[in-house]
């Protein structure tokens, strides 16, 4: 017991020191946690503990809480709007990547068919922990490439279930046929989703309401932890992954008014447990094997990165522009943490050579170490390669601008807003995160800029503190709230006018100091009555 506490304290101290140093030189804390795990293993000779099932379980709950927060972002309604990203792009990415890697493994590296299948399926997955952590912290999860990446990652996490079922069948541990296994899985899936959404939704809503009304933060936090862990254990007991249960629980809470409160309360736990997961990753590193096979590991990683980037780029290019497709492809080019699970199950079933598994695990770890270094630089890299959008990102001319109106969003409502501003001869500029919308505005001779208005750097460039008004016309409530929060944080007394389309949206923004909230339905009703009065006056 005392030695365990010693290891925990030492690991905590090392991670703090390492991450403070890495933070100063601009390197992700993920690297710090991985380094901590490796130091602990070699400092205390804990190589066997690095493969401990109990330790892996603790680390896996970091992924559980990450998937829960993703579920909070993806309500049922939003998932319906992301069908293309999740089931279209996701299915194509996993399918095509699996086929290409299988061909390479079987016909170039001369591996047997079963090993090639397992490796190709594992390498088709990307790192949810690394990519979504970055997308959420940078708020790029709401950008077009962030939405594409999130959709594909969600599908990959769902795909882990049939992959593990397939590996279980290949091990021939049971006498059941494929049809029986598939039928059992489908029935289990219906039971899990049905109970979580039908029974669970009512229970979750009641529990959150009861704990929130008590005005005790620890009771509310306890309720959230109970929901996350309970849903995860329930999904696991039905043969699915822990993270799938947490994801569904997040989706359920996303439908309630406690969405934002839950997300803020759970963040510290998610980050701590996610750090634990990366410590366990670092504990798996065999330095001797890594050094002796470094050329092969780097070479395999490079091949994977090139192949996955090319495949994802070509698939996404069918429906997205070049910049968005390339950003998404680069962000998903690594191998993910669920590969550890796949390789472990295959190795335990004696259908994958243990030495080969050790080498593949090092390739996965290397890819997860390298990814945080380049994922933060994807935007700069893509901008240098694809220069077509440079004409709309230079905001230096706005440094001396004042008393201007800033219109956030140039979709349908944004276009009508700019039309009326032109009629009033009011000075205005448009900012939009969509390259397509910005180019449409430029074609109409409107001063428009490409940028995410939820980022302080963009708000500074727009000279927002000198603006007379900021009009937010976006439809997505999550993006809308992020922009409003950023604007009010940047300039608390900003004259902020926001469009909403429902009472639910209005409630989600009511805690913000917004100057005017314009309810589209209320305004339409008012205009209808005005038109009715005009008609009556006309005919009297």
Domain containing residue 488: CATH number: 3.40.50.720
- What per-residue confidence (pLDDT) applies to 190? 76
For 464-509, write each residue's pLDDT tens digit: 888 999 999 988 888 888 899 889 988 888 899 999 888 888 888 8
For residues 31 and 92, membership in a common domain is answered with no
CB 151, CB 102: distance < 8 Å = no
Q: Which residues contact 533 (CB under 8 A, 6 or more apart)?
A: none
For 408-446, write each residue's pLDDT tens digit: 999 889 999 999 998 888 889 999 988 788 888 888 878
For residues 420 and 470, membership in a common domain is answered with yes
CB 455, CB 391: distance < 8 Å = no
Angle ∠(23,27,33) on CA atoms, nearest 5: 85
For residues 34 and 54, membership in a common domain is answered with no
**Domain hosting residue 444, numbered range:** 390-538
Q: Which of 329, 358, 385 is the last residue of a domain?
A: 385
For residues 162 and 37, membership in a common domain is answered with no
For residues 373 and 419, membership in a common domain is answered with no
Task: Kindly report the pTM of this predicted structure.
Answer: 0.66
- The span from the CA of 158 to the CA of 430, in Å, is 39
Q: What value does the mean pLDDT take over residues 201-224? A: 81
pLDDT of 50 higher than 60: no
pLDDT of 105 higher than 60: yes
For residues 278 and 318, membership in a common domain is answered with yes
For residues 424 and 485, membership in a common domain is answered with yes
- What per-residue confidence (pLDDT) applies to 52? 60
CB 243, CB 67: distance < 8 Å = yes
> What CATH number does residue 171 fall under?
1.20.1530.20
For residues 142 and 282, membership in a common domain is answered with yes
Confidence class for position 392, pLDDT limits 50, 70, 90 = very low
Q: Which of 357, 385, 413 is the last residue of a domain?
A: 385
Q: What value does the mean pLDDT take over residues 501-523? A: 85
Residue 531, token pair as written in the block: 């038109």
- What per-residue confidence (pLDDT) applies to 178? 56
- What per-residue confidence (pLDDT) applies to 539? 55
Q: Which residues contact 436 (CB under 8 A, 6 or more apart)?
A: 321
For residues 156 and 61, membership in a common domain is answered with yes
Provide the domain count of the chain. Answer: 3
Nearest Cα neighbor of 458 from 439, 485, 432 is: 432
For 251-277, write each residue's pLDDT tens digit: 888 877 777 778 777 777 767 777 777
For residues 251 and 195, membership in a common domain is answered with yes
């Amino acid at each position: 017991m005392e030695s365990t506490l010693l290891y925990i304290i030492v690991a905590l101290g090392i991670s703090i020191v390492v991450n403070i140093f890495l933070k100063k030189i601009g390197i992700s804390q993920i690297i710090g946690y991985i380094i901590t795990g490796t130091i602990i293993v070699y400092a205390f000779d804990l190589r066997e503990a690095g493969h401990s099932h109990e330790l892996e379980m603790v680390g896996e709950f970091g992924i559980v809480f990450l998937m829960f927060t993703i579920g909070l972002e993806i309500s049922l309604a939003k998932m319906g709007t992301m069908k293309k990203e999740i089931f279209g792009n996701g299915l194509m990415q996993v399918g095509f990547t699996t086929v290409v890697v299988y061909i390479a493994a079987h016909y170039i590296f001369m591996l047997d068919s079963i090993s090639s299948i397992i490796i190709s399926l594992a390498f088709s997955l990307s790192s949810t922990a690394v990519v979504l952590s970055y997308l959420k912290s940078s708020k790029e999860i709401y950008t077009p490439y962030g939405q594409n990446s999130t959709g594909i990652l969600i599908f990959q996490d769902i795909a882990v279930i049939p992959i593990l079922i397939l590996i279980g069948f290949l091990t021939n541990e049971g006498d059941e046929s494929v049809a029986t296994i598939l039928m059992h899985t489908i029935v289990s899936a219906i039971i899990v989703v049905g109970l979580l959404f039908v029974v669970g939704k009512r229970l979750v809503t009641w529990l959150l309401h009861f704990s929130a009304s008590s005005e005790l933060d620890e009771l509310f936090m306890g309720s959230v932890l109970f929901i996350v862990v309970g849903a995860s254990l329930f999904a696991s007991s039905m043969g699915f992954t822990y993270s799938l249960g947490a994801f569904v629980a997040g989706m359920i809470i996303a439908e309630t008014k406690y969405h934002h409160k839950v997300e803020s309360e759970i963040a510290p736990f998610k980050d701590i447990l996610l750090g634990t997961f990366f410590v366990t990753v670092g504990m798996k590193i065999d330095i001797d094997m890594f050094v002796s096979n470094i050329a092969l590991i780097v070479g395999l990683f490079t091949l994977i990165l090139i192949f996955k980037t090319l495949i994802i780029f070509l698939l996404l290019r069918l429906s997205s522009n070049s910049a968005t497709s390339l950003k998404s492809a680069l962000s998903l080019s690594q191998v993910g943490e669920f590969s550890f699970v796949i390789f472990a199950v295959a190795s335990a079933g004696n259908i994958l050579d243990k030495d080969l598994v050790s080498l593949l695990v090092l390739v996965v770890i290397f890819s997860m170490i390298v990814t945080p270094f380049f994922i933060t630089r994807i935007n700069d890299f893509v901008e240098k390669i694809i220069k077509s959008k440079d004409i709309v990102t230079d905001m230096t001319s706005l440094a001396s601008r004042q008393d201007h109106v800033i219109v956030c969003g140039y979709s349908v409502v944004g276009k009508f807003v700019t039309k009326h501003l032109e009629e009033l001869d009011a000075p205005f500029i448009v900012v939009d995160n969509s390259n397509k919308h910005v180019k449409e505005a430029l074609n109409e001779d409107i001063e428009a800029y490409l940028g995410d208005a939820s980022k302080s750097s963009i708000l500074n460039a727009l000279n927002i503190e000198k603006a007379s008004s900021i009009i937010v016309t976006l439809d997505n409530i999550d993006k809308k709230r992020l922009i409003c929060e950023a604007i009010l944080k940047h300039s608390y007394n900003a004259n902020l006018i926001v469009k909403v389309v429902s009472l639910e949206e209005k409630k989600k923004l009511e805690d913000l100091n917004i100057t005017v909230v314009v309810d589209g339905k209320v305004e339409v009703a008012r205009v209808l009555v005005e038109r009715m009065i005009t008609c009556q006056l006309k005919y009297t």
